[in-house]
């Protein structure tokens, strides 16, 4: 335990300002002058100024000077004053103030090399209390362990660049370049840190872990509190910046792809692009809105952090009771279908298509391996290439099935018996005709290919609805036409229902507009009547005052007077005149006798 400082950093800076101001007036900064200045400018009492002056002298932040008076009534006597140190202090091996509470006192230093942080014993948690050499929690946080979030250095610094640009655009210049000029540099803060220096570190790819970026944000808060005080507005801004920084780092840990796509160069369908670890898809209901398709970012204590499909891709915390699986029938969800809702569903459908392609191309998302030398764009191109390859493979398999079906048909023309082989497990239908051996082998090969293909198309995400395919379906033209006509009738009925709902909404809006106009007219009429009534009351009030001023009032009982006595005295009756005359008026009456 060492006592590195005992003075308060905020009062120290105020004392420096007092000394500079007094010396600027060509006076000696004595204790009396400093006390007067501090009381007038900062409201610090004389006792506190004296105590802090002694602490600053003890810490070497202020020096005592003695000089002989050369003129005036006290010629030849010594006068004690104060001045700032001539030279700035050299950089010390450790910080001057506790990294947790940012105050002076008895502190313990971290034993790790290149760590400047010191702590009060009361500020250290019970799990970090040292048994031997003390290691602070910040150094433990920056240790590289297998369970830590790690990624390629260039990609990590690129993501942190997005975070830094967001912080720089949101917070003022105070946090971007906060440095004290000499001789204050290296006197209060152990190390300089601001958003500009963090940007330089990102450009040089010096960050290896997300925790290192977090530590630099903590250093900014520490410096801001020391420079400006715990309760200052700048310190509050710094603490808010730290909270935003931690939030962004948590988002990076949760899903790198989501963070990169949402903060990088956004393309048209950036939200539809699937992540390496697919998110659960749900319908979430926010207060005042219908059930809306969304991605689940994380789940904490039955609270779902979701991001909605649609135009703005907003995020919200939704309770579990307002969450429905994506496989639910949308007709059972209550709520109106607006154009924004339809657009969100189209985006969801596009995301599911890309998700299925990525699943096939990556063998259930097991081939997502980052290249050690390629950039993110290269990885995107490789992913697209794999997707195209999977698509061509699927097309070739379907062509083989169709060709086998044609061969099988040629073999079975002369036969009259028909056998149908159905795969109910995957909803695939394969028809076989005749009992020709070659035809049977071909049909068996075709059905085997279909079975293998169906196994590949099992949905890997709980948010994807099962896919049904039909192979070699033989249906008469009349049945197809009947089905198509039935679908057209259903669509027409649906369109008619939508038009009817739209007409009802339009009528309701027109009625609402009519009622609104009526209410507006009534309100204007009431406002006009109110103003007229106020004007009439004001006029009556003025007239009443004028009439009252023209009357005389009894000096004794303050009713209307009829008997005049002298220049400012009148009475309503003889009794009031006699009562007032006996009490006081006979001594001051000015009436000529």
11 and 46 housed in the same domain: yes
The token pair at 314 is 């907003």
What is the SS3 assignment for 294? strand
Type and span of the H or E element at 306: strand 303-308
Mean pLDDT of 236-259: 90
Closest to 94 measured CA to CA, from 65, 70, 115, 72? 115
Query: Where residue 296 sits, what CATH number does that domain have?
Result: 2.30.30.140
Per-residue confidence at 399, pLDDT binned at 50, 70, 90?
very low
pLDDT in tens, 157-211: 999 999 999 888 887 666 655 555 545 556 787 778 888 889 999 999 999 999 9
Mean pLDDT of 247-252: 90
pLDDT: is 176 or 277 the higher one?
Answer: 277
- C-alpha torsion sign, points 248, 249, 253, 256: positive
Q: How many CA atoms lie within 13 A of 45 on its CB side?
A: 3
> For 59-80, what is each residue's pLDDT tens digit?
888 889 888 777 766 676 778 8
Q: Looking at the structure, tell me whether residues 470 and 417 fall in a common domain.
A: yes
pLDDT band at 243 (very low <50, low <70, confident <90, very high): very high
The pLDDT value given to residue 391 = 39
In DSSP notation, 199-229 reads HHHHHTT---SHHHHHHHHHHHHHHHHHHH-
Q: Which phi and psi angles does 577 have, rounded to 5°? A: -65, -45
The token duo for 421 is 């082989």
Is residue 541 situated within a structural domain?
Answer: yes
What does the alpha-carbon distance between residue 163 and residue 171 come to, in Å, rounded to a whole number? 12
Last residue of a domain, one of 194, 224, 254: 254
Residue 370 lies in a domain: no
Domain membership flag for residue 172: yes
Q: What is the DSSP string of 325-393?
A: ETTS-GGGS-S---HHHHHHHHHHHHHHHHHHHHHHHTTTTT-----SSS-HHHHHHHHHHHHHHHHHH
CA distances from 569 to 477, 551, 555, 560, 565 (A): 119, 12, 6, 12, 6
Can you say how many angstroms the Cα of residue 458 is from the centroid of all Cα atoms in its chain?
38
pTM, 2 dp: 0.58
- CA-atom Rg of the chain in angstroms: 43
Q: Are residues 244 and 271 in the same domain?
A: no
Whether pLDDT at 390 is above 70? no
Domain presence at residue 381 = no
Q: What is the CATH number of the domain that holds 27?
A: 1.10.10.10
Sign of the C-alpha dihedral computed for residues 569, 571, 577 and 579 taken in this order = negative
**Quick check: helix, strand or coil at residue 565?**
strand
Instruction: State the pLDDT at residue 207.
Output: 92
Residues 571, 534: one domain?
A: no
Could you give the CA distance from residue 434 to residue 423 in angstroms, rounded to a whole number? 19
User: Is 532 within a domain?
Assistant: yes
Q: For residues 125 and 216, state if they share a domain.
A: yes
Q: Is the pLDDT of residue 242 over 90?
A: yes
Task: Determine the pLDDT at residue 394.
Answer: 41
Per DSSP, 98 falls in state B
Most confident of 201-210, 351-360, 383-392, 427-436: 201-210
Residue 178: per-residue pLDDT: 55
* Inter-CA distances, 87 with 11, 21, 90, 220, Å: 20, 19, 9, 25
Q: Are residues 136 and 245 in the same domain?
A: yes
- Packed helices 9-24 and 210-228: angle between N→C axes, nearest 10 degrees: 50
Nearest CA to 574 out of 554, 552, 548, 553 is that of 554
pLDDT at 106 over 50: yes
- Taking the C-alpha atoms of residue 88 and residue 187, their distance in angstroms, rounded to an integer, is 7
Q: Which CATH number do you get for residue 171?
A: 1.20.920.10
pLDDT tens readout for residues 449-505:
434 443 333 333 333 333 434 333 444 556 557 778 888 888 888 898 888 888 888
Residue 94 lies in a domain: no
Q: In a 3-state reduction of DSSP, which class is residue 275? A: coil
pLDDT digits (tens, 9 = 90+) for 410-425: 433 333 333 333 333 3
Instruction: Give yes or no: residues 339 and 465 share one domain.
Output: no
Q: Looking at the domain assignment, is residue 382 inside a domain? A: no
508 against 380, higher pLDDT: 508
Q: Which domain holds residue 112?
A: 105-254
Calculate mean pLDDT across residues 284-293.
86
Distance from C-alpha of 138 to C-alpha of 118, rounded to nearest angstrom: 11
Residue 257 pLDDT more than 80?
Answer: yes
233 with 138, same domain? Answer: yes
Cα–Cα distance measured from residue 258 to residue 296, given in angstroms and rounded to the nearest whole number: 11
Q: Both 249 and 162 in a single domain?
A: yes
Give the DSSP H or E segment for 574: helix 574-580
Domain count along the chain: 6
Q: What is the pLDDT of residues 20-46, one digit of tens each?
A: 999 898 888 999 999 999 999 989 899
User: Strands 105-109 and 118-119: what pairing?
Assistant: antiparallel
* Residue-level pLDDT at 480: 59
Q: Does 150 lie in the same domain as 184? A: yes
Asked if the model's pLDDT at residue 393 lies above 50, the reply is no
Q: Is residue 379 part of a domain?
A: no
Res 281 pLDDT > 80: yes
| 226: its two tokens | 């020391």
569 contact partners, CB below 8 Å, separation of at least 6: 555, 580, 585, 589
Which of these three, 222, 254, 286, is where a domain ends? 254
Which helix (H) or strand (E) segment holds residue 170: the answer is helix 153-170
Mean pLDDT score, 216-234: 89
| Average pLDDT value for residue range 566-582 | 89
Domain boundary among 52, 83, 114: 83
Residues 170 and 188 in one domain: yes
Looking at the fold, whether 67 and 131 belong to one and the same domain comes out as no
Report the share of the chain in percent with pLDDT over 70: 76
pLDDT for the residue numbered 175 = 63
Find the helix packing angle between 46-59 and 9-24, rounded to 10°: 100
First to last CA, the chain: 99
Q: What percent of the chain has pLDDT over 90?
A: 18
The pair of three-digit structure tokens given for residue 453, joined into one six-digit string: 């293909």
pLDDT for 476: 52
Confidence of residue 339 (pLDDT cuts 50, 70, 90): confident
Q: How far is CA 123 from CA 106, 108, 140, in A?
A: 11, 10, 16
């Amino acid at each position: 335990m060492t006592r590195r400082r005992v003075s308060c950093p905020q009062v120290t800076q105020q004392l420096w300002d007092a000394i500079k101001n007094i010396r600027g007036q060509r006076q000696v900064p004595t204790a009396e002058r400093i006390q007067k200045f501090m009381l007038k400018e900062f409201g610090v009492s004389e006792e506190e100024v004296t105590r802090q002056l002694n602490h600053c002298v003890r810490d070497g932040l202020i020096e005592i000077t003695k000089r002989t008076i050369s003129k005036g009534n006290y010629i030849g006597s010594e006068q004690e004053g104060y001045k700032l140190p001539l030279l700035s202090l050299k950089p010390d091996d450790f910080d001057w103030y506790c990294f947790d509470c940012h105050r002076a006192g008895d502190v313990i230093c971290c034993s790790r090399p290149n760590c400047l942080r010191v702590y009060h014993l009361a500020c250290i948690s019970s799990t970090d209390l040292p048994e031997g050499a003390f290691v602070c929690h910040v150094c433990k946080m920056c240790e590289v362990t297998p369970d830590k979030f790690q990624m390629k250095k260039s990609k990590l610094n690129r993501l942190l660049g997005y975070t830094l640009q967001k912080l720089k655009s949101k917070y003022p210049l105070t946090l971007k370049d906060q440095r004290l000029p000499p001789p204050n540099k290296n006197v209060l803060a152990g190390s300089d840190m601001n958003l500009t220096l963090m940007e330089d570190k990102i450009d040089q790819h010096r960050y290896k872990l997300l925790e290192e970026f977090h530590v630099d944000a903590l250093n900014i808060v520490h410096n801001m509190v020391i420079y400006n005080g715990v309760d200052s507005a700048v310190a509050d801004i710094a603490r808010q910046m730290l909270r935003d920084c931690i939030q962004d780092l948590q988002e990076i840990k949760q899903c790198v792809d989501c963070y990169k796509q949402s903060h990088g160069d956004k393309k048209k369908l950036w939200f539809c692009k699937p992540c390496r670890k697919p998110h659960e898809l749900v319908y979430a209901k926010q207060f005042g809105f219908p059930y809306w398709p969304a991605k689940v970012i994380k789940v904490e204590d039955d609270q779902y952090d979701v991001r909605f499909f649609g135009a703005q891709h907003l995020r919200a915390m939704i309770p579990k009771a307002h969450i429905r699986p994506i496989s639910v029938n949308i007709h059972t969800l209550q709520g109106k279908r607006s154009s924004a809702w339809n657009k969100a569903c189209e985006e969801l459908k596009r995301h599911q298509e890309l998700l299925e392609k990525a699943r096939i191309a990556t063998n259930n998302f097991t081939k997502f391996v980052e290249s050690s030398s390629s950039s993110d764009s290269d990885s995107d191109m490789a992913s697209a290439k794999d997707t195209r390859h999977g698509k061509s493979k699927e097309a070739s398999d379907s062509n083989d099935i169709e060709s086998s079906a044609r061969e099988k048909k040629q073999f079975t023309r002369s036969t009259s018996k028909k056998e149908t082989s159905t795969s109910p497990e995957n909803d695939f239908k394969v028809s076989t005709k005749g009992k020709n051996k070659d035809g049977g082998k071909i049909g068996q090969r075709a059905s085997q290919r279909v079975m293998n293909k169906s196994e590949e198309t099992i949905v890997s995400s709980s948010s994807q609805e099962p896919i049904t395919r039909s192979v070699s379906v033989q249906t008469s033209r009349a049945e197809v036409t009947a089905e198509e006509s039935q679908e057209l009738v259903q669509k027409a009925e649906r369109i008619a229902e939508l038009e009817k709902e739209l007409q009802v909404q339009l009528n309701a809006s027109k009625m609402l507009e009519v009622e609104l106009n009526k209410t507006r007219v009534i309100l204007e009429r009431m406002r006009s009547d109110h103003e007229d009534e106020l004007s009439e009351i004001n006029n009556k009030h003025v007239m009443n005052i004028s009439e009252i001023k023209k009357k005389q009032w009894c000096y004794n009982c303050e009713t209307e007077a009829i008997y005049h006595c002298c220049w400012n005295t009148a009475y309503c009756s003889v009794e009031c005149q006699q009562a007032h005359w006996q009490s006081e008026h006979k001594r001051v009456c000015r009436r000529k006798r």
